[in-house]
A and B are shown apart, each in its own frame.
Chain A
Amino acid sequence: MASLQSNDFELFDVPVQFGQDSAALDARWKELQREAHPDKFAAQGAAAQRLAMQWSVRINEAYQRLKNPLKRAMYLCELHGAPIEAESNTAMPPEFLVQQMHWREALEDAEGIAHLEAIADQAITSKREQLSKIEHSLDREKNFPAAAQQVRSLMFIERFGSEIDARIDSLGQ
């Protein structure tokens, strides 16, 4: 039974796993917001509004975490006792670090939108590969510490992706 203390998966009544049907999450989110959104209680007292606000905030929070693969993976690791702790745990496989250095050099040297978009494509491909590794660790092998390590790598890739986006933005496209 759902309460404000339920975890995200319980609240959305979906299996506790990485693989999720994103259309189902969207539909579920809207269903839950239909019940809990403060607008539904606009004609009622302040107490009902306050409660509705708490529920609605909680539903949005869970939805943000469930629909974003990186956040969902981090959350699953934490639920299974393998927290990410990105600040204190910065050890990375050497080959990953070498690849990161190559990318960064390429980004520094990149000129023009075509160059940047080519790098962005590489980052997207790499992200997709990393996500499928994470799904394997979480849903098949149930190896949460291994998944946590893969999530930390994914965080590097995502940060790199947003740096590329910032560069593309700065070109005013």
Chain B
Amino acid sequence: MALLQLSEPGQTPDPHQRRIAVGIDLGTTHSLVASVRNGVAECLPDAQGRVLLPSVVRYALDPAGAVTREIGFDALSVQLDDPKNTIASVKRLMGRGMQDIVSRAQLPYELVDKPGMVAVRTVAGEKSPVEVSAEILATLRYRAEDTFNDDIFGAVITVPAYFDDAQRQATKDAAHLAGIKVLRLINEPTAAAIAYGLDNASQGVYAIYDLGGGTFDISILRLSQGVFEVVATGGDSALGGDDYDRALVDWVLVKTGLAADTLTAGDKAALLQAARASKEALSAMDSVAFSARLVRANIQFDMKAADFEAATASLTQRTLTAVRKALRDAQLGKDDVQGVVLVGGSTRMPQVRRAVAGFFGREPLTNLNPDEVVALGAAVSANQLAGNHSGNDLLLLDVIPLSLGIETMGGLVERIVPRNQTIPTAMAQDFTTYQDGQTALALHVVQGERDLVADCRSLARFELRGIPPMVAGAARIRVTFTVDADGLLSVSAKEQGSGVEARIDVKPSYGLSDDDIARMLQESFSTAQQDMQARALAEAQVDADRMLLATQSALAADGDLLVADEKLEIDRLMAELSSTRQQGDAAQIEAAVKALADATENFAAQRMNRGIRQALAGKNIATV
């Protein structure tokens, strides 16, 4: 039972000091939102008490021709009636071009080939996967806001470890569109480890096997005193429970002699639903009645667990191949692994559990609900990043899942950041010109493990212009790749002799431009429910509060680093920001926040230096 909390007189906590931070698991089949309440992470239920939100959005037109949306269970319940406008498993489309989506023929809805990322054709027009994901995120955001009756400060959103730059960027864009401040993108397996690690105080090497609806991830983590070090990660961003459903449908088609090209969109959706229902039932039983009502025929027969296992064995094998590769990357053997954690609803399939247990020679941990564990871990991380949690800090040291490089002569890839490099990181390589008098250089940024550009994902193209004319090979162009803690890349190029520079945040070819985002924000129904201006003001005020609190606590901790004049200036700017905050003009508040940020930049640098020095000093004392 939770006890009422009483404060000392005069010490009532400022309600603004408690920041509502949530963890969101944006899943292929289900999404969840969780938060730390009274020190415990828990998933937040909707008004009907359900924590899972099916990741399904249906677009429709009302009699007046206005666009309406149904999200979650409402959309799921009409999926069979309106398959073309009901978008499920949109996560598989995030940051993906048409050629990336191998199973598109089986999708009940229609894809449109667009530069960079596909869209879905609906009665409400073409919908980007980012917009569809934003509907789901906004629904979870409202759920959290209703639960706490307050605005949320920010969210940690989880992504598969194997997501590439384009997929991560698309996820962040969706959050932006849903009006959510992203504190951090963290990898799903890492989030799961946080949930387990804190509860069980585990130490040592752990393997996190995460088979979700549409993605498979394997991460090898080393845990020690609150540090979650990802040693290696691997997987397949297009392999999940959906594929088991589809493999089962294929098996049923062969068994019944039905040809796939005679099926209507409704037939396809009905078969997939029946396959999913059978799969779920077979987690607890040895056989189940498979039943699907199609336009031309009704299918009904007894399905055995062994049939299902045989029909999907190659998928399970594919996951184990990725596990072997990750262990090799980590330079560890199976015996070094002290525990295996199963995450994702698809790990409920008995054949998957058996395969994993057989491979590692030990029973995997399953004591946390595999559907909830990722959201719970994300909530713990969000709570800490928002500054609510003191002491017992977590430190997440993540890696980049796929190598980054640039195209060189002959369509070959020169690798600049190798996969499994700890982030944040910056790595550079020097290039030169190949023609006399060459004044520009085209740079093509790619991600992937293959040697040919054609086999890797194209992330961005940009040009360095204005190189002084020189003989071939004389220019020295340093290309620097910087990957931040979210795994997002920016690239800069500089000619060392002349100092000519160019840089790009990697977005254009697979992300959305700022204009796209602005347009979608305008069009979005979920976000338009709130007045845009009011929202801008609320966001500016949250920023102002955050900045004021951060500065106050910095002054309390390290105010002695400042000379009197600096302190006075910072005090003045804080007072100004406090009064501007009350006046209700978003632009003015933003300007005042920026002024304070600029004025405290040097202070922040000094504090950081002190922190590092203290870390060094601590060691010296310990070793004396």
Contact = CB atoms under 8 A, between A and B. Distances in A.
A137 to B, nearest CB: 26
B616 A61 contact: no
A52 B609 CA distance: 10
Interface string A90-107: 000000000000000000
Contacts of A31: 615, 618-619
Interface in B588-624: 593, 596-598, 600-601, 604-605, 608-609, 611-616, 618-620
A48 to B, nearest CB: 4
Interface in A60-83: 60-61, 63-64
A45 B482 contact: no
Interface in A146-173: 172-173
Interface string A30-59: 111111111110111111100111011100
Nearest to B593: A45
Contact of A173 (B184, B324, B423): B324
B482 A57 contact: yes
A30 B605 CA distance: 20
A100 to B, nearest CB: 23
B421 A64 contact: yes
B183 interface: yes
B229 A34 contact: no
Chain A interface main SS type: helix
B425 A61 contact: yes
Nearest to B396: A39
B395 interface: yes
B484 A38 contact: yes
B600 A2 contact: no
Interface residues of B, number: 49
B397 A33 contact: yes
A42 B611 contact: no
Given A2-B612, A45-B550, A30 B395 contact: yes
A44 B550 contact: yes
Contacts of B482: 57
Contacts of A60: 421-425
A143 B384 CA distance: 50
B386 A43 contact: yes
Interface string B179-195: 00001100000000000
A131 to B, nearest CB: 16
Given A43-B550, A47-B598, A13 B620 contact: yes
Contact of B604 (A28, A37, A45, A63): A45
Interface in B392-406: 393, 395-397
Contacts of B425: 57, 60-61
B385 interface: yes
Contacts of B184: 39, 42
B324 to A, nearest CB: 7
Given A42-B385, A44-B604, 17 more contacts: A1-B613, A1-B616, A2-B612, A32-B615, A34-B393, A37-B395, A42-B386, A42-B387, A44-B547, A44-B550, A45-B547, A47-B597, A47-B604, A51-B608, A53-B484, A56-B424, A60-B422
15 contacts: A3-B609, A30-B395, A32-B615, A34-B393, A35-B612, A35-B615, A38-B424, A39-B384, A39-B395, A44-B554, A46-B597, A48-B604, A60-B421, A60-B423, A61-B426
Interface of B: 19, 183-184, 224, 227, 229, 321, 324, 384-387, 393, 395-397, 421-426, 482, 484-485, 546-547, 549-550, 554, 593, 596-598, 600-601, 604-605, 608-609, 611-616, 618-620
Leading 6 A-B pairs by shortest Cβ distance: A43-B387, A42-B385, A47-B601, A44-B550, A45-B597, A35-B611
